[in-house]
Structures are given as structure tokens and as C-alpha cells.
Amino acid sequence: MADFQDLETQDLFQRVPDHYKDLSWAASSWFYGEFANEPGQNYAALGSSNGTIAGIDGEDFYFDGADYWSRRTADAQGDFYFVLYHDGQLVYDGREVPGGRQRFDGAPQFFQPSYTGLVDIVALVFDGGGDDWDHLAMDNFQFRRSSPLCPADLNDDGLLNFFDVSAFLNAYNAMSPAADFTGDGVYNFFDVSAFLNAYNAGCP
């Protein structure tokens, strides 16, 4: 998961570094910085209509959604669509899917596409005047590698600790694919057991 907490903050927002969390951010206009009322708590804000996040050198991953909201205090309304690609092919276009419009406001909301397969590009498309990008914020970009080296390292920091347990519990309660450790589409004791086994096995 990319939560931007491990990035050093500056006085002004900075571009999310390319290869952050082993993803390619170079083509995007995501900038990171602190919440004004929560020093030390980082999030990302979009600096143009290009919100593309990709796998490095076309590496595949699963996109499980993220938290989005408006940075405006007034008129904090907007919408966007997810557009996903895999191996050069369009695999999901929210504009063509019932319920594909993601409507955001001033409160963080978790949005995810209905597509659950592999992707290598996650893009955002804005309709109408296309100006909703200028107040869109994001946090907790949830993704999984197609063949993770350490499945229980859910926050992807190379360590196994309380934060991974917390991430699993949050994903489990939200019925997020990140918690479906058995891969059967059902969330139950067997997923908890599989996570604990992976956690106890440690990282290579």
C-alpha cells in the first residue's frame, strides 16, 4: 500500500518520486505533502488531469482501490472514472460500466473499480469540463503484486510488524481483496489463518 507516510515532507508539496513503492509515478502529476491540520500525516494531491500510476517496465499488479476526496471546503463535489490497462489493452473503462462514476466530496471515501484482474496502468478520467482534478486528493493506494515476495507485508515496507496486522484487519473488515488470502472470494477464518501462517513464515 502507498500511504506516503515514509516520504519526507517539505514546506511545499513535492512530486511523488518515481519508483515509490516500486511503481512508476513519472507520468503522473501526483504531489505529496502534509494535512494542514495534521502535521506529519501525508497525502497526495493531483496537480493536473494526469493521474496515471503504472507498473515499472510494465510489471503487473492488482489494484484494490484508494481513498479519494476533495481539498475544497466549499463546492467540494466532483467525479472521475477509473480506466485500467493490461499489456497494452484496455481492460476496464468506468465510463462504460454501470456505477463506474466515482463521486467524491470533502470526506475521504474508499473507491475501487469492479475489475479485479491484473493491470499495469491505473488512470483517471474526468468528464464534463474536466476540471475536477484540481481539487482531488488521494491516500492509501492499495495494490498487490502478482507474485509478492512476502505476502504478509501488506504495507509493503519490507518489515513484518503490527502495521501489517492492522492493514490486514482493516482490509478484512472492508472485505478488500487484499485480505482474501485464500483467493476464494470469501472472507472468513481461513483467510485469517492463511495470513497468520504467512506472517509467521516471515519474509525471505
193 backbone φψ class: left, alpha, beta (φ>0; ψ -120 to 50) = alpha
195 in the same domain as 100: no
Query: What is the CA angle 24-26-32, rounded to 5?
Result: 95
In the chain, the DSSP E strands lie at 14-15, 23-24, 30-35, 38-46, 53-55, 61-70, 78-86, 89-93, 101-104, 109-111, 118-119, 121-125, 136-145
168 in the same domain as 118: no
79 in the same domain as 21: yes
Residue 148 confidence class, pLDDT cut points 50, 70, 90? low
120 in the same domain as 75: yes
Residue 39 confidence class, pLDDT cut points 50, 70, 90? confident
- Percentage of the chain beyond pLDDT 70 is 97
pLDDT digit string, tens, across residues 42-94: 999 999 999 999 999 999 999 999 999 999 877 789 999 999 999 999 999 99
5 in the same domain as 96: yes
197 in the same domain as 187: yes
164 vs 117: CA distance, rounded Å: 23
Residue 130 confidence class, pLDDT cut points 50, 70, 90? low
**The total number of structural domains that make up the chain:** 2
181 vs 158: CA distance, rounded Å: 19
